[in-house]
Amino acid sequence: MSTAVVTIAAGRHEHMAAQEHGLRSGTYQPDIRVIVAMGDPDVPGATVVLPVDGALPLARARNAGAERALDAGADVLIFLDVDCVPASNLVASYTEHVRDGVVLCGPVTYLPQGADLDRLPDLVNPHAARPNPPADVVEPGANWDLFWSLSFAVTATTWTCLGGFCEDYVGYGGEDTDFGWTARERGARLQWLGGAHAFHQWHPVSAPPVEHLDDIVVNARVFHRRWGRWPMSGWLAAFAERGLIAWDPNGDTLERRRGNR
């Protein structure tokens, strides 16, 4: 099978270079490499450059990357966040274990600041909220809210069936959960693959992510319109506690309070 690795990026050039080094050091080289730059033509190795006017078009960029990979003949699509360095076996393991009708996710370790990327196997510490099966064990999952786009694989057939990410979402938040719920609605199976580790490089974050407040409010409304419930409830609750939004978790109200930050 022909395997493509798709990454979207804007900035984060050093992180992109580290990911490329990780892929080149892998036990199986991807047959097709697609890097989608969002408004940043200087992203190293960019094969697709999307113009950006406002918030980053994350969903559209992933779809554009998948389209380029499929046009190049990819049978397997691996999506890897720009911040993630793959374990040496990640591409090989995803390629071996992915099946039609499955969304396959590997564990992700969040690295501390200053982590030594030359000793990644010693730094494995997967995010505790997601399953972490033994190496090469595929474990079924039931909670699609746990899907995230940092690291996952699908076959070309599955991607076409799911229709990609909903492009109603622009900017940060919501599109991952929507993709998972779409997959569930269309009968796909969520599976977790042990040992296909990705290592998320450190970068500054805020909790809650107030710098993405406007995007999250807009995208939460999109999700509520599509699915009848609120996503990202932890963030919305934190914003409400700070007086940044007016939100009714059991109703339809979600409004940005202007002048608060």
pLDDT tens per residue, range 116-165:
999 999 999 999 999 999 999 999 999 999 999 999 999 999 999 999 99
Residues of the chain with pLDDT under 50: none
- Give the tokens for residue 233: 């409830």
Q: Taking Cα atoms as reference points, which of 158, 221, 148 lies closest to residue 187?
A: 158
Sorted by where each begins, the domain ranges of the chain are: 3-200, 210-256
**57: helix, coil or strand?**
coil
Q: What is the pLDDT of residue 261?
A: 52
Question: CA-CA distance, 71 to 236, in Å (whole number)?
Answer: 39
Instruction: Please answer whether residues 162 and 66 qualify as being in contact, where contact means their C-beta atoms are separated by less than 8 angstroms.
Output: no
Helix spans in 77-174 (H): 90-97, 156-162
Architecture of domain 3-200: Alpha-Beta Complex (3.90)
Closest CA to 71 of 34, 22, 38, 41: 34
Among candidate residues 100, 221, 218, the one with its CA nearest the CA of residue 157: 100
Cβ-based neighbour number of residue 107 at 10 Å: 22
Angle, alpha carbons 135-159-22 (nearest 5°): 45
> Which pLDDT score, from 0 to 100, does residue 171 have?
94
What tokens does 175 get? Answer: 């599109």
pLDDT for 145 = 95
| Most distant CA pair in the chain, distance | 54
